[in-house]
Amino acid sequence: MTVIVLSGPIGAGKSSLTGILSKYLGTKPFYESVDDNPVLPLFYADPKKYAFLLQVYFLNTRFHSIKEALTADNNVLDRSIYEDALFFQMNADIGRATQEEVDTYYELLNNMMGELKRMPKKNPDLLVHINVSYDTMIKRIQKRGRPYEQLSYDSTLEDYYKRLLSYYKPWYEKYDHSPKMEIDGDKFDFMASEKDREIVLDQIVAKLKSIGKLPLNWDKSTDIQIEA
């Protein structure tokens, strides 16, 4: 049983690569609750009021997914639970949470992490982090088109996104819950370019082989058809 988690900023390509990778490896994809998330639009409309509620909502849904993913067979998750604190800490740092909310959040997070440690499989087998620049992030957010994520929706989003990117570098460097690897999301268009998709999948397969999660002679010759 192999569990792979994706990480990276908003619009980096996590959900897209989760779909591609799970199809390629014949595993099950787990997607974060976004389009069915009732709190997300409220948060973007009034971040200070809804930052804590959104975080509890995400933490709860991530906990559900990770529990299921760590007990079922091979899986790919489109965001790691380890990024949860990164988001809330950043929101707290810009005054979107009270000290009581911060304290309560960390207590809840520690409690949940304690539960995960008691599971037969405690950590994912591999973290695949997608690196993107600010320009790429914005292009992808525009391409995806969720209205409340657009820079035109709120003039403070530019700072919010730049800050988010600046939190990811130290977060990735510190991450030590499993082996990890980076994908260059600026360079590889794994959605439109078949060649790029192959390169990215080869990088992930090579890493899985090097950590003993795929047999050295594993090969997949089937083409994957990407739905636009």
Ligand X SMILES: Nc1ncnc2c1ncn2[C@@H]1O[C@H](COP(=O)(O)OP(=O)(O)O)[C@@H](O)[C@H]1O
191 binds ligand X (CB under 6 A): yes
190 binds ligand X (CB under 6 A): yes
Distance of closest approach, residue 179 Cβ to ligand LCKSPGMD, in angstroms? 22
Is residue 11 a known part of a binding site? yes
Nearest CA to 52 among 44, 61, 43?
43
Other Cβ atoms within 10 Å of 97 Cβ, number: 21
Cα separation, 191 vs 12, in Å, equals 12
125 binds ligand LCKSPGMD (CB under 6 A): no
DSSP state of 120: S
Q: Which is nearer to ligand LCKSPGMD, 64 or 220 (CB)?
A: 64
- Burial class, 107, CB count within 10 angstroms (exposed 0-12 / middle 13-18 / buried 19+): exposed
32 binds ligand LCKSPGMD (CB under 6 A): yes
Active site residue 78: yes
Residues in the chain: 228
Q: Which is nearer to ligand LCKSPGMD, 14 or 129 (CB)?
A: 14
198 binds ligand X (CB under 6 A): no
Of 143-162, which residues contact ligand X (CB under 6 A)? Answer: 143-144
Cα separation, 175 vs 83, in Å, equals 10
Task: List, by residue number, the catalytic residues.
Answer: 78
